[in-house]
Structure 1
Amino acid sequence: MAKLNIAVIGFGRVGRACALALRNTDYLALAGVVRRPTSPIKLPDPLGEIPVVTHIRDLKRIDVALICVPADVVLGVARELLQAEIPVIECAVLEGHALEMHYDAIGDAARHHSTRAIVGAGWNPGMLRLFERAFTTLIPDSHTKRTSRPGASLHHTKVVEGIEGVKGALATETRDWQGKLTRYVYVELAKGAKGVKGAKGSEGASLDKVEAALAADPLFVGEQTHVFEVESIATLEEEGRGIMLERIGTERTGAHATLLLEGRFDVPTFAARVMLDAAKRIPSLKPGAHRYSLWG
């Protein structure tokens, strides 16, 4: 099966992430990058050999275009590409009524030109909303709390770093709508220690031991604390974005049902991976605009 030729429109953080991700796929090929006339015509390594043009017509056969430009110009770019009968993938960060109008306009253009588009193929809107929908399906009649926080909200904690076998630790706290405090602690265990609960390493550390020590510490007594093991505290400190979703069941839905999603990641990288996943589905779609999903 021949690879689909992909054009990346724009070379900001998402565009660069898409271009880099396209180097390692078996089903997509990076045909080139479209940039403004005032931008450099040569990309930084390792993308230095990739063609850079100022208009997509200067690239050879394009099967799909990934639109990676600011949200306020996405619609204009999408319309121009769809008019040229080039399928598009977009991930514009819009909300509410503006987002719905945006989707409707792209859908009208795609149907008018008998071309395909996938909208909302990013982190948010996109993958994050699929997580939230799954939480709602599994625990209905409740409320999902979403907390977006930068890496700067994490702080070192001497209490945890003083536990035998813990090489380093970071912590953060959140409060729910009732003001109840929940702590999140990230630990890097010393070499040889075991992260599996119930197992002890050469330094005697385990997640069980960390949790037990915190439960007995006056600073943590009476407060809900979640402990997560990470490969490197230093790496965690450098990461700039994070998300936490929490949904707790009620008496009606099952009081003990709780879902927690906690993650730290690079948003453009995640957005790029979603866009590439969407691109491979384009050939199987009917003309019109389709919202990104995990089906197929």
Structure 2
Amino acid sequence: MSEKIKIAVLGYGNLGRGVELAARNSKDLQLSAVFSRRNPSEVKTYGAPVFSADEILSHKGKFDVLVLCGGSATDLPTQTPEFALNFNVVDSFDTHAKIPEHFAAVDAAAKAGGNVGIIAVGWDPGLFSLNRLFGESVLENGSS
């Protein structure tokens, strides 16, 4: 791949910092911006520029994917559909019982905006779920 995928992060807690470090170690990703509800001058990244979360819409077209790093209980149910209308988004929503309704909201917003919304990416659901699936597929009486 000759051109890097430009990503932005909304939320700079543990998950947001992890996304920044992962991008730094990836040959095909470039972290273009971090958006935070905190005062941008107080947010210390490993080099990515920091902007107020209120400015995010003014950055439309400056990155390819917005990675939402908020919490599943209060942030992602509103943020992901809201931003899927204007950006390609990825979130780590992990409230299993509410994934169908979250999917429906994000899917509708992403389609309305002509974008892609990928939800529930992470450990569980995510890599852990795939690991469990692989185990169940090769074990004679697999059960999780």
* TM-score, normalization by structure 2: 0.86
Cross-structure match for 2:77: 75
Q: Spell out the pairing of 1:79-158 with structure 2 (5 A cutoff).
A: 79-84=81-86, 86-96=87-97, 98-144=98-144
Cα distance in 1, alignment partners of residues 12 and 113 from structure 2 = 27
Cross-structure match for 1:51: 49
Q: Secondary structure at the match of 2:75?
A: helix
1:26 is aligned with what amino acid? K
2:8 is aligned with what amino acid? A
Q: 1:19·1:30 contact (CA, 8 Å) conserved in 2?
A: yes
Q: Secondary structure at the match of 1:15?
A: helix
Q: Spell out the pairing of 1:202-213 with structure 2 (5 A cutoff).
A: none
Q: Which runs of 5+ in 1 are unaligned?
A: 145-296
Identify if the C-alpha distance between structure 1 residues 31 and 132 changes in structure 2 by more than 3 Å, giving closer, same or farther. Answer: same
1:135 is aligned with what amino acid? G
Question: CA offsets per residue over residues 35-82 of structure 1, 9 Å max, x none?
Answer: 00x43424336x1x4211112234461100000001122132122222
* TM-score, normalization by structure 1: 0.44
Identify if the C-alpha distance between structure 1 residues 140 and 105 changes in structure 2 by more than 3 Å, giving closer, same or farther. Answer: farther
Cα distance in 1, alignment partners of residues 70 and 126 from structure 2 = 16
Identify if the C-alpha distance between structure 1 residues 39 and 133 changes in structure 2 by more than 3 Å, giving closer, same or farther. Answer: same
1:110 Cα deviation (Å)? Answer: 1.5
1:142 Cα deviation (Å)? Answer: 3.7
Q: 1:43·1:50 contact (CA, 8 Å) conserved in 2?
A: no
Cα distance in 2, alignment partners of residues 62 and 40 from structure 1 = 19
Percent sequence identity is 25
Q: Secondary structure at the match of 1:33?
A: strand
- 87-96 or 103-112: bigger deviation: 103-112
Cα distance in 1, alignment partners of residues 110 and 140 from structure 2 = 35
1:139 is aligned with what amino acid? L
Report the count of equivalent residues: 139
Q: Which runs of 5+ in 2 are unaligned?
A: none
Q: Secondary structure at the match of 1:110?
A: helix
Q: Which structure has the larger Rg over C-alpha atoms?
A: 1
Q: 1:42·1:52 contact (CA, 8 Å) conserved in 2?
A: no
1:112 Cα deviation (Å)? Answer: 2.1
Question: CA offsets per residue over residues 229-280 of structure 1, 9 Å max, x none?
Answer: xxxxxxxxxxxxxxxxxxxxxxxxxxxxxxxxxxxxxxxxxxxxxxxxxxxx
Cα distance in 1, alignment partners of residues 69 and 90 from structure 2 = 9
Q: Secondary structure at the match of 2:66?
A: strand
1:131 Cα deviation (Å)? Answer: 0.7
1:138 is aligned with what amino acid? V
Q: Which has a greater percent of strand?
A: 1
Q: Spell out the pairing of 1:143-182 with structure 2 (5 A cutoff).
A: 143-144=143-144
Cα distance in 2, alignment partners of residues 44 and 92 from structure 1 = 25
Question: Cα RMSD (Å) of the superposition?
Answer: 1.8
